[in-house]
Amino acid sequence: MDYPDIDKYANLNSAIHRLEPRCKVISFTILIFSAVFVETLHLALLALLIAITILIISRLPLAFVVRRSKVILVFILPILILMPLTVPGTPLWQAGPVIFSEEGFFFALLITLRSVAAITLVLTLLGTQRFDTTLKALSLLKVPGILIQMLFFTYRYIYVMMDEFLSIWSAMRAKGYSFRLNRYGLSIIGNLVGMLLVKSYERAERVFLGMQAKGYQGRPMSFAPFAIRRSDCFMCLILISIAGGLLIYPLVIT
């Protein structure tokens, strides 16, 4: 099975890959927040162009970002339809009582551009270093351990639950089951979900006990080198300056 590994391309060689993990987390986080808080369309478009440029520099395949963004975009794209219908303003299109407002459309477009820019930056951050390295960097940056453990186990058990689901689904198919959208089919799916939760819980308990037996104490382990160089500081400063520019630019031109 093709697993959706977030750090599948962590071993590539690029300026973004070589950036020290703590510097990368700090600079990308500031850049993501600056992209999310821009207030105009042209700045949101500029933030998206910056995100795409960083993605190109990182040498991550475009398909990597597109594939992992699809699920999130499913929740974002309805905004483009619902927002113009719910925000009052100048009619862009009207059919009886249904008004598609210009203000709502541009506001939805602004939200979409912000979201796509932020998603691209997040995937670039996570895709250019191993996930355990990201967790170790967060730990060194004094992020609470409980949050790091939640991230670690969530990431780990996505694959566990997928394995369990495929195992149960294969057994059902082998017994001749084929899904039909009726009451019987839905009851079978309900039973499958319940069985999946029980089996995942039991497996999680066994894995946790095994980790404790091997000395796990809640701290992420990583053998990646953590040493900040001048080039890391310089790159970090550039990214933070870009983030600051996105927020300061509207104040300068007014």
Q: How many CB atoms lie within 10 A of CB 154?
A: 9
Q: Is 157 exposed, middle or buried (0-12, 13-18, 19+ CB in 10 A)?
A: middle
pLDDT number for residue 34:
93
User: Alpha-carbon Rg of the chain, whole angstroms?
Assistant: 23
Higher pLDDT, 127 or 179: 127
Over residues 171-176, mean pLDDT: 80
Over residues 23-35, mean pLDDT: 93
Q: Which two three-digit tokens encode residue 113? A: 């551009």
pLDDT number for residue 94:
78
Averaged pLDDT score across all residues of the chain: 84
Q: Where are the alpha helices (DSSP H) in the chain?
A: 15-18, 21-36, 41-58, 62-86, 102-127, 131-140, 145-174, 183-213, 230-253
* Integer Cα distance of 144 and 97 in angstroms: 51
pLDDT number for residue 3:
61
Q: Is 130 exposed, middle or buried (0-12, 13-18, 19+ CB in 10 A)?
A: middle
pLDDT number for residue 125:
92
pLDDT number for residue 6:
80
| Banded pLDDT at 58 (limits 50, 70, 90) | very high
pLDDT at position 52 over 90: yes
pLDDT number for residue 96:
76
Higher pLDDT, 226 or 22: 22
Over residues 234-245, mean pLDDT: 91
Q: Which pLDDT tens digit goes with each residue over 67-123?
A: 888 777 778 888 888 888 888 878 877 777 788 888 888 998 999 999 999 999 999
* Integer Cα distance of 252 and 100 in angstroms: 34
pLDDT number for residue 48:
93
Residue 185 DSSP SS3: helix
pLDDT number for residue 53:
95
| Banded pLDDT at 181 (limits 50, 70, 90) | confident
pLDDT number for residue 81:
82
| Banded pLDDT at 142 (limits 50, 70, 90) | confident
Higher pLDDT, 170 or 4: 170
* Integer Cα distance of 137 and 224 in angstroms: 10
pLDDT number for residue 253:
64
pLDDT number for residue 128:
92
